[in-house]
Amino acid sequence: MIKYLPDRVSIVLEEIPDRVSVAVDITNCPENCPGCHSPFLREDIGEELTFERIDSLISDNFGVNCFLLLGEGRDHQALVRIGKYISEKYPGIAPALYSGRNQVEDDIWQVFDYVKLGPYVEKKGPLNERTTNQRLYHVHSVISAGAGGSAAIRRVKEDITPVIWRRKKD
Ligand code: SF4
């Protein structure tokens, strides 16, 4: 089960470039970043992020074109199911994930169109600082010719972190 904090749902413009995102804070964070900016997200609090809740959040926020999970919780299979559900039911809405880990599994790259990697390191700053250790990837589907003339779909990661830096207001 993946839980989120209903009171903190927001619409954000800068976390994912060129996207209007409905952003949900995911709890049960398994990381332990020194200087964690939101320690309450490590607690087992909030409500389950069901498919019905996702439907409501999308219909209540007409015009969004990204669904951003801020954190990934502790239930990997449920997390992947959420990404798959959004990508299959809402082709115009990109599923996005902010992870606190340095690497994620292949099934996450398959279903999420944007993935942020890396723990928060206070002295290096967040994603929009040039000193950051974190990276944001846009994942594209590329169709190429496979064996015997069949088509094969590959997922290609593009590091778009510098786009965030260029748009930062100093
Ligand atoms: S990923 Fe790190 S900074 Fe974010 S909530 Fe978890 S411990 Fe805190």
**In this prediction, what percent of the chain has a pLDDT beyond 90?**
81
**pLDDT higher than 70, residue 38:** yes
- According to the model, what pLDDT value does residue 152 have? 84
pLDDT band at 55; cut points 50, 70, 90: very high
Token code pair at residue 22: 């409905």
For ligand 1, atom 1, name the residue with the nearest CA. Answer: 100
Highest mean pLDDT among 1-10, 29-38, 146-155, 157-166: 1-10
Q: Mean pLDDT throughout 3-26? A: 97
- For 64-75, the pLDDT digits (tens) are 999 999 999 999
The residue with tokens 């690497």 is 103
pLDDT band at 108; cut points 50, 70, 90: very high
- According to the model, what pLDDT value does residue 168 have? 67
CA distance 128 to 120: 12
Q: Separation of 129 CA from ligand 1 center, angstroms?
A: 17
Side-chain-facing half-sphere of 73: CA atoms under 13 Å:
23
CA distance 161 to 164: 5
For residue 58 and ligand 1, the question of a CB distance below 6 A is answered with no
- For 77-91, the pLDDT digits (tens) are 999 999 999 999 999
* Residue 165 phi, psi (nearest 5): -65, -45
For ligand 1, atom 8, name the residue with the nearest CA. Answer: 36
For residue 32 and ligand 1, the question of a CB distance below 6 A is answered with yes
Token code pair at residue 124: 């290096």
Q: Mean pLDDT throughout 114-136? A: 94
- For 137-163, the pLDDT digits (tens) are 999 989 887 767 788 888 999 999 999
Domain boundaries, the chain: 3-167
CA distance 130 to 138: 18
